[in-house]
Amino acid sequence: MKTKAPVTKNERLDVTIADLTYQGMGVAKVDDFPLFIENALPGEELTIQVTKVQSHYGFARAVTWKTESPDRVKDVDKTYRQTGIAPLQHLAYPAQLTFKQHQIAELFSKAHVDVEVAPTLGMANPTQYRNKAQVPVRKVKGQLETGFYRQHSHDLIPLTDFYIQDPAIDAAIVKVRDLLRQFEIPAYDEISDKGVLRTIMVRRGYYSHEMMIVLVSRTQKIPSQAQLVDQIHKALPEVTSIVLNVNAKKTNVIMGNVTRTLYGKPTIEDSLLGLTFAISARSFYQVNPQQTEKLYQMAIDKAGLTGKETVIDAYCGIGTISLALAKHAKQVYGVDVVPEAIEDAKVNAQKNHLSNVTFEVAKAESQMAKWQEDGIKPDVVVVDPPRKGLAESLIDSTAKMGPKKVVYVSCNPATLVRDVVRFQELGYDIDGAIQPVDQFPQTPHVESVTVLVKK
């Protein structure tokens, strides 16, 4: 029998916010029926209007506040909330760190796993940290604009200051935008699937200050391409690489498979933990270098290497963790599914004169099974999976190899909890506290390092 929700659409109610969801929305309960409200913080009393009712939950918008949380930040730019760039900007930074620690603790507690979660490691300046931008290019009111989509839509809101991005990147996007206007290059139109320029991607080395501009085009060539490229590198002295990426498909995927260097090198360089890395247009590189150093250092420290160990790095990307581990281990094996990332990883090993690393292109789960059959016996396995977490087969292969330690770098607490429970069933236990690291200030995302040891 379907129970009737205790609220109706457009109804106005007085509520007290009890909690925040993992997306950073306020939660109010009406007869145990949860309502999710944007821009509302725990402890606040407010009048809300119900906007949508599902069978087990609903959404509402804040109308007026009776009381405000002491953790509320007053001067916020509503554009950042509308675009979802900084969904937590209205929450004071110390409270954001507590929220992230609590988020992990809560999920483990729901799974009945007893664990300590340490306070989140934060940043001195929790803004302007991103070293990479991917900004859509669209025509708005007859003019080519760069900005960000309004949440849950494809309406572009023009923006020049992205708040959580390196200001040099913001300035570069404006320069490129102005040149695109000057050369009258047509912006991509999603509805008609016409036009030329879809996205501008900019990467900038935190230490090197080398800059890469990637122009994502629907067409094989951009009109006035040579002049445009010439003007970009004249206007932006830090640019050492200009790349064309062709994406002719009608898709939400940002980049296509064809990449051509139009100026300079196909990569830029940056350093991390004293190692040098070449980063190409399509390779994965952490977007918050300051916090990545803390995160990776933590993983290395927790691996407890003495120089005698064999280590496997599943999801190695361009080799950032593998090479940092190689300085302290006997042999490191890395695997990643992206061929360009493995190309970069091999180049990066040579750049840093590290010969005790082997990289393979494969799905982590199939390569782990192969290494296990080949009789490779790692002392430590490091995993840094995408948001969907680990495949069950990867956990099984890891457990069969029987490493003394598994160091799990996670970007999604929900899949971390699920995977830890699987490891526990196969004879591994959590060692010490879980350490959250704030890689993405002003957003609800949290990274963490968990150590599992063989019982």
Q: What is the pLDDT of residue 85?
A: 83
- Contact yes or no for 199/192 (Cβ under 8 A): no
∠262-268-270 over CA atoms, to 5°?
Answer: 170
Residue 133 pairs in a beta bridge with 202
Q: What is the pLDDT of residue 166?
A: 95
- 91: nearest Cα among 32, 42, 142, 162: 42
User: What whole-number distance in Å separates Cα of residue 40 and Cα of residue 57?
Assistant: 17
In eight-state DSSP terms, residue 263 is E
DSSP 40-62: --TT-EEEEEEEEE-SS-EEEEE
3-state secondary structure 84-106: CCCCCCCECHHHHHHHHHHHHHH
**Which residues 6+ apart lie within 8 Å of 402 measured at CB?**
377, 454
State yes or no: is 411 an active-site residue: yes
User: What whole-number distance in Å separates Cα of residue 429 and Cα of residue 424?
Assistant: 6
Q: pLDDT (tens digit, 0 to 9) for every residue of the chain, 455 residues total?
A: 556 889 999 999 999 999 999 888 999 999 999 999 999 999 999 999 999 999 999 999 999 999 999 999 988 887 877 788 888 999 999 999 999 999 999 999 999 999 999 999 999 999 999 999 999 999 999 999 999 998 888 899 999 988 999 999 999 999 999 999 999 999 999 999 999 999 999 999 999 999 999 999 999 999 999 999 999 999 999 999 999 999 999 998 999 999 999 999 999 999 999 999 999 998 888 899 999 999 999 999 999 999 999 999 999 999 999 999 999 999 999 999 989 889 989 999 999 999 999 999 999 989 988 998 998 999 999 999 999 999 999 999 999 999 999 999 999 999 999 999 999 999 999 999 999 999 999 999 999 999 999 99
DSSP 302-354: HHT--S--EEEEES-TTTHHHHHHHTTSSEEEEEES-HHHHHHHHHHHHHTT-
CB atoms within 10 A of CB 101: 20
Q: What is the pLDDT of residue 2?
A: 57
**Which residues 6+ apart lie within 8 Å of 300 measured at CB?**
321, 324, 325, 328
Active-site entry in 222, 411, 417, 451: 411
Dihedral, CA of residue 310, residue 312, residue 318 and residue 324, to nearest 10: -40
Question: How, if at all, do strands 428-430 and 447-454 pair?
Answer: antiparallel
Tokens in use for 244?
A: 């064309």
Backbone angles phi, psi at 210, to 5 degrees: -70, 140
Domains and CATH numbers, the chain: 12-70 (2.40.50.140), 132-272 (2.40.50.1070), 288-454 (3.40.50.150)
Residue 243 pairs in a beta bridge with 214, 261
